Amino acid sequence: MSTEPATVVMVEYENASDEVRAVFDDIMATKGIGFVPNAWKVFASHPPTLKRLWYGLKEVMAPGALDPKFKEMIAVAVSVTNGCDYCTRSHTGAARKLGMTDAEYGELLAVVGMFNQTNALAEAYKIPVDDVFLRPWSDQG
């Protein structure tokens, strides 16, 4: 677990501007939590970034063709692959809150591990892409 400090001063709720507090309030209300997660306190060191990230994330993670649990599981997979411990832990928690089971988590990590391995091998071997995969999927028949 990282004990290193952030590279900027985290903005605490009580020290936040009205603009930042409005975003913090929306984060807590949307997530149904009573605290501001550290990531958002760090992003608040630059309010335009805080707003862009929060409102973009809120839009992307809203229910749509993919349900929220599946979206959080994708976020876990990307976070694991990118080696972001904070992101892995926060999105695992969010996916668990949405009902992700131990079995689903285990399969998710198995898929992540398998494809990180096969992707690395495909890149190392410089495997040429099959012609069929270069055509638009609408032409696949």
Distance between CA atoms of residues 18 and 23, nearest Å: 9
Given phi > 0 = left and psi -120 to 50 = alpha, else beta, which region is 32? Answer: left
Angstrom CA distances, 14 to 1, 21, 24, 32, stand at 27, 8, 11, 19
Quote the strand ranges of 40-135, DSSP E. Answer: none
Distance between CA atoms of residues 62 and 137, nearest Å: 27
pLDDT in tens, 83-112: 999 999 999 999 999 999 999 999 999 999
The count of residues in the chain is 141
pTM for this model (two decimals): 0.88
pLDDT in tens, 23-80: 999 999 999 999 999 999 999 999 999 999 999 999 999 999 999 999 999 999 999 9
Residue 98 CB contacts under 8 Å (≥ 6 apart), including other chains: 68, 69, 72
| Closest to 69 in 3D by CA, of 98, 26, 40 | 98
